[in-house]
Structure 1
Amino acid sequence: MGQDQPSRANWPIFRSLARFRPSDLPGDLIAGLTLAAIAIPEQMATARLGGFSPQIGFFAFLAGSIGFAMFGANRFLSCGADSTITPIFAGGLALMATAGTHDYQALAMGLALLVGAIMIAGSLFRLGWIANLLSTPVTVGFLAGISVHILVSQLSGVLGLAAPDGPTLYKLVVLAEHIGQTNFHTLAIGLGVLALVAGSERISARIPGALIGLVVATVAVIAGQLESKGVRVVGAVPGTLPTPSFPEIAPEKWIKLLSLAFLIAVVVMVQTAATTRSFLSDPDKPADVDRDFLGVGAGSLLAGLFGAFPVNASPPRTGIVSETGGQTQLAGLVAAAIVLALLAFGATLLQHVPDAALGGVLLFVALRIIRVGQIVAIFRQSFYEFLLVVATAAAIIVLPIEQGVALGIALSLLHGVWTTTRGRLVEFVHVPGTTIWWPAGPNVTGERKPGIAVLGMQAPLSFLNAEGFHSDVLKVIGTATPKPHLVVIEASGLIEIDFTAAQELRGLFRECREQGVTVAVARLESARAHAAFERFKLYEVLPNDRIFRSVDEAVRALGGQTSI
């Protein structure tokens, strides 16, 4: 029995079910029922957000749930239509086809296939590190911008006004101009559902406030005959089941979809990694992010074949599964079975659901994804990173959304490069009574030794900062009184040295020798930095006997010498 468990845990498919025990069944059933109650209104609303009929959202949920259960690793993760990525790909698709048309749906299917293929490739090549491309400030700004898009897109439905076309800010201006034409029945439904969902969430996340809100709103529409008073409803929902098909798309449009697919895939990778790390299958083991990429990718592939759009991991729905006693992906499959039964036998129940109720659900989703607490914390603790939040959010709101997201990713990468390489020269001082040399600072008690300069940089040495390092060292040599006869480079922070940096070091060593200054390197601890010294032949200009394990060792050995 002890040998059976590891082999079962490595099943090629349905891996999370390897842990299933009969005693898990009640918890999985309850979690599945709760998940379905949460997912049904959410998937309908998200489909409408993307310009699709409600049953397409159900197709996406079925595909995501089945694909992830088959190939994912996390026991709790719920995969399906997601309001984070829907505005992004809807904005991109709208540039190629009119929402609601056959071409639009075909492009969405093709996009789902491409995103699924990229996710699967990311899993096979173990690209889980891509999930770290978005820094926290950029992620917070990204979510704030997406939230504004959702809010503005749903205001027309909640107010009972015609939905304007154009950029987000233009839509907001148009809606403000027509605010006097608001249908108060519609407004009451939208705000009522929003209040009911928010109140239910506040009491307990297990309460299906969105489903309750949709039921109450639908009863109100029927009882009050509100359709005759201008309240728009979902209308007839075809009771069709998903059938596999491949989209007919011209070759040039596949190429246009590719850049959008990469953009969506990066966002999906980030959210999937965050979700699976937040709800660990085993608290004693790290998340298998790469395997979960495979599961979400399989979900998107199935979604493309089922006639739907790309899917994503959902942190709130995953939390519901975890909190309501779910133990395996059986909970997701139970929820998928309930949605499938609704499609097959109960689709007519949805025809009187008011659009404003779905808008109320999405208003709640939009308000929930704005991380106000984190924005305030970033503002208080790092103003420059707060500006990064603002810039990312502004780009997503002002620019076409897919361009704004791309700019947000670029800002995150630039921010990462800047923080990694912005290190400047650091002077080290000797701590009296010890062999320790420590970076100088206002709270550090240390002493400088005449004729000796200990310098370092706590960042990788690369083409981005190598020239500055070179000139700063020469500046210290030229301005110090008395002039140093020994310069020790404290290299513990130099974890990497690239070709440009190596050339700058060669020049620095040569110029120091010409000025009669001895150079040593201490604490070159990084294996990559050692390899760079070998690869770029730096030992030809700085002999091995000038490499020391500590600054103190270098000072004791060379403190009295006067040349390299």
Structure 2
Amino acid sequence: MPPSDPPSAQPPRHARQSAIPLPEWLLHYRTHWVKGDLIAGLTSAAVVIPNALAYATLAGLPVEAGLYTAFFPMMIYALFGTSRVLSVSTTTTLAILTTSALARVAPGSGQTELLTAAATLGVLVGAMLMIASLLRLGFVANFISAPVLVGFKAGIAVVIFVDQLPKLLGIHVVKGEFFYNVLRIIEGIPRATPPTVVVAAVALVALVLLRRFVPRVPAPLIVVACAIVASKLLDLHALGVDTVGTVPAGLPAPRLPVLALVDTLWPIALGMALMSFTETVAAGRAFARHGEPVPRANRELFATGLANLVGALFGAMPGGGGTTQTAVNRRAGACSQAAALVTAAVALAAMLLLSPLIGPIPQAVLAAVVIVYSIGLFDPIEFRAIARVRRMEFVWALVALAGVVVVGTLQGILVAIVVSLAALAHQLSDPPVYVLARKRNTDVFRPVSHAHPNDETWPGLLMLLPEGRIYFANVEQIGQKILRLIAAAAPQTVIVDLSGVFDIEYTALKMFADSEQRLRARGITLWLAAMNPEVLALVQRSPLGEALGRERMFHNLEQAVSHYRTAVLGETSETGSAR
């Protein structure tokens, strides 16, 4: 595999000053990348194109929409994106969200209406991403926590499996809510078409075995190619196996959005834009190597927004960076965005020359591709890892999963965001407060623990360590914790170590000032230690600073303890100077 450039590599001076509006990666392109990019682009095409065809059928769109999705977004992102190896078309998550959106806005409609609705949806997603780029909202992707995203994707996997199961069985089901669909499928099992079931079973087994034992082989391409041959030789359509049907050759005609649909689609598009950006940034960061540019969030917003906008005008589905196809691209040796251009070129060739070969593909085979590449979204190992680290976050993941399954994928986005924000609010509103002791014969202070029974404490002294930002939403909780600890210890002096507090609000300062007065009335003295310069300045400007004076504020906890031992306990060790 060609080596990547070292971090210190700089582009030639003439390239940096070029007036030609070329992509940055093209200005810095190295000749030894050509082989890797060519092989990676061809390999990725073998995965991207069959998946895109399957995702188009998942959304109820004509299968050629998958080819358009593998061409336009891929090409646009390669020219404007910042990740060298990101492969951009549609993804499993975005495909199922598109399916739900079209089912809501155009239920029972023909393909013309669905294509118009898809164009409107894609334009809205693209426009929202580009507007977010102008407003520099790249940080918004961080508002969905990793556990919640794990649960959301697992829910998507469950929904996709149930959605595609009728195609594997060769039955037709009037779709509704999740549990309604499950019941209709169970009722329809006796009507399953045996040839379709056989084709689906063979495709599933082949995909699983190829992925398991020959992971470098493009399993979807091989399975789809074999399905085309079998369909023609055995005339599967005559045996009752549904096939893709006629696929028009050539480039798509431009398709304009319909303003009348904007009012219905914009909330859905907003959630899809967030998911598109989140998946894109996550995949781009995950596969960036040392020495390669790290994807820039706001530039990624613009690139994916433009890719969606242009793609939608030419029949493509809403898209983003896909983890699976990006992994294939990286493993195959991609060195730059040129690999994506190769993939787009193969999709273009398929549009112009290979459309007659797409028609005989059995729908059951495309459904099998969707299921096999979607099942990875449900990862029990991730759930187990989350539960091992923190059970509450495991609950959040389960809530996100249930939100997608019970209330639907589109509402599931809202559930995921709300759960993430609720989780953040919970963490911020309930920060820990530790009781400290000193490791014997050291200057190391640590939380009191049964594991360290010999740590030092001193009569009448309680040392406390709150952590995090102290502000109006959590100050009451922190205050109650501190008062409970004081009531339990009945100290003469309380030292609050603020080294773990990076900011403190006026409300918190007022609470500390009020508490200081109440403690002083009970004969308990409050000291503060280890404040950073910003917190110290805030305290000094507040009534709390006036009440404490410089003699009750210390540079660090060791100094405060030393002062307590000499001034209060009367020990003869050296006394540290107060702040």
* TM-score (normalised: structure 1): 0.91
- Secondary structure (helix, strand or coil) at the match of 2:318 reads coil
What CA distance in whole angstroms lies between the structure 1 residues aligned with 2:34 and 2:456? 69
In structure 2, relative to structure 1, the CA distance for the partners of 1:281 and 1:429 (3 Å cut) is: closer
Please name the residue that 1:185 is paired with: 195
**Amino acid paired to 1:520:** W
Per-residue deviation, 1:319: 1.5
| 2:33 is the counterpart of 1:27 | no
Q: In the alignment, what sits opposite 1:18?
A: 27
- Match for residue 225 of structure 1? 235
Out of 327, 332, 335, the residue aligned to residue 327 of structure 1 is 335
Alignment check: 8 A CA contact 2:439 2:456 kept: yes
How far apart, in 1, do the equivalents of 2:563 and 2:30 lie? 67
CA pair 330-168 structure 1, distance change in 2 beyond 3 A = same
What is the root-mean-square deviation in Å for CA atoms of aligned residues? 2.6
Secondary structure in 2 matching 1:95: helix
In 2, Cα distance between equivalents of 1:384 and 1:433: 38
Q: Given residue 56 of structure 1, which amino acid in structure 2 is its aligned partner?
A: A
SS in 1 for 2:93: coil
Match of 1:488 in 2: 495
1:352-431 to structure 2, matched below 5 A, reads 352-431=360-439
CA contact (8 A) 2:15 2:28 kept: no
Instruction: Give the distance between the partners of 2:28 and 2:71, measured in 1 at CA.
Output: 22
Matched residue of 1:142: which SS? helix
Aligned residue number for residue 268 of structure 2: 260
Local SS of the residue matching 1:233 = coil
Report what 2:3 is aligned to. Answer: none
| In 2: Cα distance, 1:38 partner to 1:155 partner | 22
Tell me, yes or no, if the aligned pair for 1:281 and 1:287 is still in contact at 8 Å: no
Shift of 1:91: 1.3
Greater shift in the superposed pair: 333-342 or 502-511: 502-511
Q: Offset at 1:186?
A: 0.8
Distance in 2, matches of 1:366 and 1:2, equals: 40
| Mapped partners of 1:536, 1:264: distance in 2 | 46
Moved more, 545-554 or 485-494: 545-554
Determine the structure 2 residue equivalent to 1:550. Answer: 556
Number of aligned positions between the proteins: 557
Does structure 1 conserve the Cα–Cα contact (< 8 Å) formed by 2:204 and 2:368?
yes
Q: Which amino acid in the other structure matches residue 167 of structure 1?
A: E
Compute the displacement of 1:557 (Å).
3.6
Q: Summarize the Cα distance change of 1:4–1:550 in structure 2 as closer, same or farther, 3 Å threshold.
A: same
1:446 equivalent to 2:452? Answer: no
Alignment identity in percent? 29
Shift of 1:432: 2.8
Does residue 337 of the first structure (1) align with residue 322 of the second (2)? no
Equivalent residue number for residue 224 of structure 2: 214
Tell me if structure 2 keeps the 8 A contact 1:15–1:72. Answer: no
What is the aligned partner in structure 2 of residue 506 from structure 1? 513
1:129-144 paired onto structure 2 within 5 Å: 129-144=139-154
TM-superposed CA distance for 1:554, in Å, is 2.1
Q: What amino acid sits opposite 2:477 in the alignment?
A: G
**Amino acid in structure 2 at the alignment position of 1:300:** N
Q: Distance in 1 between matches of 2:511 and 2:274?
A: 36
Identify which of 90, 113, 117 aligns with 1:107: 117
Moved more, 373-382 or 453-462: 373-382
Aligned AA (1:20): Y
Counterpart residue identity of residue 270, structure 2:
F
CA–CA separation in structure 1 for the residues paired with 2:488 and 2:18: 65
Tell me the alpha carbon deviations over residues 446-492 of structure 1, each in whole angstroms, 9 at most, x when there is no partner.
Answer: 22212221112123223333112223333333443xx4332111112
After superposition, give the CA deviation of every residue in 1:384-435 in whole Å (9 maximum; x if it has no partner): 3333222221111111221122112211222233234423331111333233
Consecutive unaligned residues of structure 1, counting only runs of 5 or more, are: none
Q: Secondary structure at the match of 1:454?
A: strand
Residues 1:235 and 2:245 aligned together: yes
SS of residue in 2 equivalent to 1:178: helix
Aligned residue in 2 for 1:96: 105
Instruction: Call closer, same or farther: CA 1:377–1:282 in 2, change over 3 Å.
Output: closer
- Conservation of the 8 A alpha-carbon contact between 1:494 and 1:526: no
Distance 1:108 1:475, change over 3 A: same
Inter-partner Cα distance in structure 2 for 1:96 and 1:196: 37
Partners of 1:317 and 1:539 in 2: CA distance:
58
C-alpha contact 1:9 1:19 (8 A) present in aligned 2: no
| Mapped partners of 1:10, 1:198: distance in 2 | 50
Correspondence for 1:456 among 448, 462, 465: 465
- The answer to whether residue 315 in structure 2 is matched with residue 302 in structure 1 is no
3-state DSSP class of the match of 2:395? helix
Could you tell me how far 1:535 is from its partner in structure 2? 7.2
How far the C-alpha of 1:377 sits from its partner, in A, is 2.7
- Whether the 8 Å contact between 1:276 and 1:289 is mirrored in structure 2 is no
- Whole-Å separation in 1 of the counterparts to 2:298 and 2:371: 33
Give SS of 1:429's match.
strand
Secondary structure at 1:554's aligned position in 2? helix
Task: List runs of 5+ in structure 2 lacking aligned partners.
Answer: 1-9, 570-579
Question: Counterparts of 1:372 and 1:10 in 2: how far apart (Å)?
Answer: 52
Matches of 1:124 and 1:62 in 2, distance apart? 26
Q: Distance in 2 between matches of 1:489 and 1:9?
A: 59
Contact 1:8 1:15 in 2 (8 A): no
- Report deviation, 1:558: 5.3
TM-score calculated relative to the size of structure 2: 0.89
